[in-house]
Amino acid sequence: MLAAPTPQRHHRTPKSARPSPRVANSAAHQALLSTRLTPRDRWIISMLWEHRVLTSEQITSVAFPSYRSGRQRLRELYLWGVIDRFQPFTPVGSAPMHYVLAPAGAAALASQHGLEVKDLGYRHDRAVGIAHSLRLAHTVGVNEWFVGLIGDALRSGDFAVDTWWSEVRCTRLFGDLTRPDGYGRLGRGAAHAEFFLEFDLGTEPLTKVVAKLVGYNALVESTGISTPLLFWFPTSRREANARKQLLAAWQGLDNPDAVPVSTAAANLLDPSEEPSPANAVWLSLDNRSARRSALHEVLPTCPRPASSSSDSPTVLPPPDPMPPAASRPGGGSR
């Protein structure tokens, strides 16, 4: 240091690049967006409205041919004020960018359905407020689970994800009895299978997790519809402990067979393959053998309905979980 002092110019703070300005949300800008938003862009907008927050990896893995092209398009939507973004703090490494619906995107979504933004009940502060929510990790985890299922459907072509309801939609439908973390319907040829998902991060006492069976049993008694229930745990150790308590509570129900239960653990997925909840990691609660089954093997099937849309007491219908084919405004591929 004394023999070869550092030149003064090396101590200068580099001039930071000027951030790209975002377009103001005006009537003129919203009119211009009608020529810029592709069907895939509108799918992203609908999915963010339904599921509140999606990460860059979740969106690009199912809707874009590469992460680079997806990141570029998401940046354009951000600069247009269609979506907003934040990056949660993580003690190690960096978290992926998280995206939520922005005012211009909400306006486009409302106009698409012939509504006013106020009819959606959309508020920008609430949309961005999930960045500070204690349930952010849980919401992202549930969405990651379903996105993994969609990605598997796109790769294999063996099934399709016909329906994916968010926790908010499920709560509005069944909240007086139970509150699933998600509802899904899979289509395989002329048949379909439906299920409720309970996504566990290992933060709740198992007694609270097990107590949810009572609500699902009440739902069956109220509707007369038996819907399989899937419990997803972070580790096989927690799954094993939960299965003991679940089995005792399940056998205590008035009609246990009306509430089919299966469990799986995230650490059972093969890291060398594309992770998917459809893999052979599921174990029925009434199955005493150690053999794990694929998701379609533990879900009973019935004839597929003529339409995949489902009625619900919300302003907008649930979006199609399967992304549309990529396209540019004007018909070219992107």
| 196 SS3 class | strand
Enter the tokens of residue 10. 């090396």
User: Is domain 21-133 in CATH 1.10.10.10, yes or no?
Assistant: yes
DSSP 3-state percent helix, strand, coil across the chain (nearest 5): 40, 15, 45
Per-residue pLDDT at 20 = 67
The residue that leads in pLDDT, 109 or 274, is 109
pTM of the model as a whole = 0.89
Ramachandran assignment for 223, one of left (phi > 0), alpha (psi -120 to 50 degrees), beta (any other): alpha
How far is the C-alpha of 47 from the C-alpha of 30, rounded, in Å?
19
DSSP 1: -
Average pLDDT over residues 6-19: 57
- Using one digit for the tens of pLDDT, what is the confidence trace for 263-286? 999 999 988 788 899 999 999 998
Per-residue pLDDT at 303 = 79
Residue with tokens 């939520």: 100
DSSP 90: -
How far is the C-alpha of 201 from the C-alpha of 178, rounded, in Å?
19
Per-residue pLDDT at 261 = 97
- Using one digit for the tens of pLDDT, what is the confidence trace for 121-140? 999 999 999 999 999 999 99
Enter the tokens of residue 295. 């998701």
Provide the residue ranges of all domains of the chain, joining segments of one domain with +.
21-133, 135-327
| 27, 35, 60, 270, 279 from 275: Cα distances, Å | 43, 37, 16, 7, 8
Per-residue pLDDT at 329 = 46
| 303 SS3 class | strand
Q: Which pLDDT band, with edges at 50, 70 and 90, does 115 fall under? A: very high
What b/e sequence results for 87-120 when a residue is b if at least 16 CB atoms lie within 10 Å of its CB, and e otherwise?
eeeeeeeeebbbbbbbbbbbbbbbeeeeeebeeb
Alpha helices, DSSP H, located in the chain: 27-33, 39-51, 56-63, 67-79, 103-112, 117-120, 124-129, 136-156, 167-174, 206-210, 212-223, 236-251, 295-298
How far is the C-alpha of 183 from the C-alpha of 191, rounded, in Å?
17
Per-residue pLDDT at 234 = 97
Q: Which pLDDT band, with edges at 50, 70 and 90, does 308 fall under? A: very low
For residue 13, the one-letter residue type is: T
Average pLDDT over residues 319-332: 71
DSSP 227: -
Residue with tokens 């995230």: 266
Per-residue pLDDT at 271 = 81
